Amino acid sequence: MSVQAEPVGAQHDGFPALYAEVLRFYARQMRFLDDGAAEEWALTFTEDGMFAPPSLPEPLRGRGTLAAGVKQAKAEMAESGEVHRHVVSMVDVQANPDGSVEARSYVQVIATPRGGEPNLYMMTTCHDVLVRDGGELRVSERRVRRDDRPSA
């Protein structure tokens, strides 16, 4: 993506294509996460991608670390029999002059036990920096905050 003189607003020619691409990116990325597809999930980040979840004191960095986290979560869910779903909504997309893309969203996290009712157990906001890398959008920085810990 070439360097642009100014941010791309919703009425820019390239916006509809970018917006659709970002929505589909999240659909695929979160499905990888919820299915426990650790390697596919890790590839939706850049090689040195950073993920700052609210549950850890330090951000995770790099695909190996990211994949390991998903593998562990998958093993825990297999044991508990729970299915998790990350539902991304209210996606705001802004293309930066340097070619990166900032995406802000809400994320509902829903857990369903085997034979039980689904439970909306966490509401978060997500702030991503996406970059084009090998033709694909990937997350270079992700910061997540929980609504139950507004000051964290």
Q: Which spans of this chain sit near a copy of itself (rule: CB under 8 A)?
A: 10-11, 15-17, 19-21, 23-28, 30-31, 81, 83, 85-93, 104-106, 108, 110, 112-123, 135, 147-150
**CB distance 93 to 102 below 8 Å:** yes
Q: How far is the CB of 57 from a copy of itself (least distance, A)?
A: 18
In sequence order, the 6+-apart residues with CB closer than 8 A to the CB of 27 are 88
Cα dist from 94 to 51, 104, 112, 128, 137, whole Å: 20, 9, 33, 11, 14
Compare residues 64 and 118 and give the one whose CB is closer to a copy of itself. Answer: 118
Compare residues 65 and 108 and give the one whose CB is closer to a copy of itself. Answer: 108
Tokens encoding 106: 């809400």
Q: How far is the CB of 11 from a copy of itself (least distance, A)?
A: 7
Compare residues 38 and 122 and give the one whose CB is closer to a copy of itself. Answer: 122
Tokens encoding 75: 């093993």
Q: How far is the CB of 151 from a copy of itself (least distance, A)?
A: 9
Query: Which helix (DSSP H) or strand (DSSP E) does residue 87 occupy?
Result: strand 82-95
Compare residues 64 and 99 and give the one whose CB is closer to a copy of itself. Answer: 99
